[in-house]
Amino acid sequence: MESTAVLLESKSSPINLLNEMHQLRLLGHLCDVTVSVEYQGVRAEFPAHKAVLAATSKFFKDVFLNEKATDGSQSNVFLHEVQVADFASFLEFVYTARVEVEEDRVQRMLEIAEKLKCLDLSETCFQLKKQMLESVLLELQNFSESQNSEEESAAHPDVLPEYKVVVVAEAEQDPVDSPTASPEVPAAKSKEK
């Protein structure tokens, strides 16, 4: 009797793998590449793993696949015109699938994602920028609607439907030019009020 195949799948394994690779990088263990970045005289070096960078960035994949075979020594990659803070955020993202940045840095993160050909970061930045734009548009729409409402009420400050009805009703019952006006008319008015 033949046994049927079953699927063994871990939902936590990808997250655990990322977390472990991130810890190895932070501790400097098994790192086989140093990425040096420089921007306007500010320079920093970041140890990393070629496999992680190549798996998340087409730029790094091309660099590592086209480099000459080394004798096991650590290789170096130099990136000019990349801000230190932006590359640090990039590394955090590729090792953890998340990074927290200020709103005004989202555009710069999108630019570094495009420069390093990191599709996941590029899509994440694009989606966030889209949400931010939709939020701004919603705020503008709400502001515009409140302004229109204020303008309409300012254009017609004395027009209240109930007041208008009362004024019209009094005018109809007040016979000013009537020759038969008597003292009873004001009494009728006061009863009506």
- Residues 84-137 have pLDDT tens digits of 999 999 999 999 999 999 999 999 999 999 999 999 999 999 999 898 888 888
pLDDT, residue 181, reads 47
Q: Is the pLDDT of residue 31 over 80?
A: yes
pLDDT, residue 185, reads 46
pLDDT, residue 135, reads 83
The second-level CATH assignment, the architecture, of 14-64+73-137 is: 2-Layer Sandwich (3.30)
Of residues 138 and 151, more confidently modeled: 138
Instruction: Return d(Cα 139, Cα 130) in angstroms, integer.
Output: 14
Q: What is the mean pLDDT of the chain?
A: 82
pLDDT, residue 93, reads 96
- 34 Cβ partners below 8 Å, 6+ apart? 45, 46, 47, 48, 74, 75, 76, 77
Using a cut of 0.85, tell me whether the model's pTM lies above it: no
Q: How confident is the model at residue 158 (pLDDT cuts 50, 70, 90)?
A: low
Q: Is the pLDDT of residue 171 over 70?
A: no
Q: Are 33 and 48 in contact (CB under 8 A)?
A: yes
Q: Is the pLDDT of residue 153 over 80?
A: no
Q: Is the pLDDT of residue 166 over 70?
A: no
Alpha carbon distances (Å) from 62 to 50, 89, 95: 11, 21, 19
Of the segments 37-51, 64-78, 131-145, which one has the largest average pLDDT value? 37-51
Of residues 1 and 167, more confidently modeled: 1
Report domain extents, the chain.
14-64+73-137
Q: Are 48 and 31 in contact (CB under 8 A)?
A: yes
pLDDT, residue 74, reads 72
Q: How confident is the model at residue 143 (pLDDT cuts 50, 70, 90)?
A: confident
